[in-house]
């Protein structure tokens, strides 16, 4: 006669902590999508707007400056900052999505369900990888934003 596999009793404290962690992970996923890089996008967008306005002013006043290339490079840098920021948002969402799936499997395991350990390990590696991408992309995006600001300031001081 085959023995029935005894169902593991869930540790209610651990399960409660996992459920709270799961809720927080979902919240973090949406927070990352909505908030984290709002400042970078706002500043870079404002920088691009300022550049367009200055270029329009220079054209209507028929002013010629030999430093106009700084404005154009600054605009390109601000644009790259925004693009990299969007990539960062996607990688952040991906990290949190994988974390959510991983925690779901941990909850199932705590409830005594069979869960593929390799799947949990794979999801955990994805979380680590996407978090690394997000950190790198955030650094790059912020660096480009700062570079754009510096070039805009240099242009402004050179023409005052």
Long-range pairs for 81-87: beta carbons < 8 A, 24 or more residues apart:
81/40, 81/44, 81/141, 81/142, 81/144, 81/145, 81/148, 82/40, 82/41, 82/44, 82/45, 82/141, 84/137, 84/140, 84/141, 84/144, 85/37, 85/40, 85/41, 85/44, 85/137, 85/138, 85/141, 87/137
Percent of the chain, pLDDT > 90? 41
Percent of the chain past pLDDT 70, that is, above it, reads 89
The mean pLDDT of 28-48, rounded to a whole number, is: 79
Is the per-residue pLDDT at 148 higher than 90? yes
pLDDT (0 to 100) of residue 147: 96
Confidence check: pLDDT of 13 > 90: no
User: Is the predicted pLDDT of residue 38 greater than 70, yes or no?
Assistant: yes
Confidence grade of residue 2 (pLDDT, cut at 50, 70, 90):
low
User: In the structure, what pLDDT confidence band is assigned to residue 40 with cuts at 50, 70 and 90?
Assistant: confident
Task: Kindly report which listed range (26-35, 52-61, 62-71, 77-86) carries the lowest average pLDDT score.
Answer: 26-35
**Whether residue 39 has pLDDT greater than 90:** no
Please give the pLDDT value at position 79.
Answer: 96
- The string of pLDDT tens digits covering residues 70-126 is 999 999 999 999 999 999 989 989 998 999 999 898 888 888 888 888 888 999 999
Predicted confidence band of residue 5 (pLDDT cuts 50, 70, 90): low
């Amino acid at each position: 006669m085959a023995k029935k596999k005894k169902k593991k009793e869930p540790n209610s404290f651990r399960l409660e902590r996992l459920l709270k962690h799961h809720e927080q992970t979902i919240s973090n996923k949406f927070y990352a999508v909505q908030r984290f890089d709002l400042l970078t996008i706002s500043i870079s967008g404002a920088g691009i707007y300022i550049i367009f306005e200055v270029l329009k002013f220079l054209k209507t006043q028929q002013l010629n400056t030999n430093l106009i290339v700084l404005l154009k490079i600054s605009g390109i840098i601000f644009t790259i900052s925004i693009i990299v920021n969007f990539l960062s948002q996607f990688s952040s969402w991906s990290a949190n999505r994988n974390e959510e799936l991983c925690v779901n499997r941990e909850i199932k395991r705590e409830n005594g369900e069979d869960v593929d350990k390799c799947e949990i390990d794979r999801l955990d590696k994805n979380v680590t990888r996407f978090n690394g991408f997000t950190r790198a992309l955030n650094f790059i995006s912020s660096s480009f934003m700062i570079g754009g600001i510096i070039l805009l300031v240099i242009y402004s001081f050179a023409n005052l």
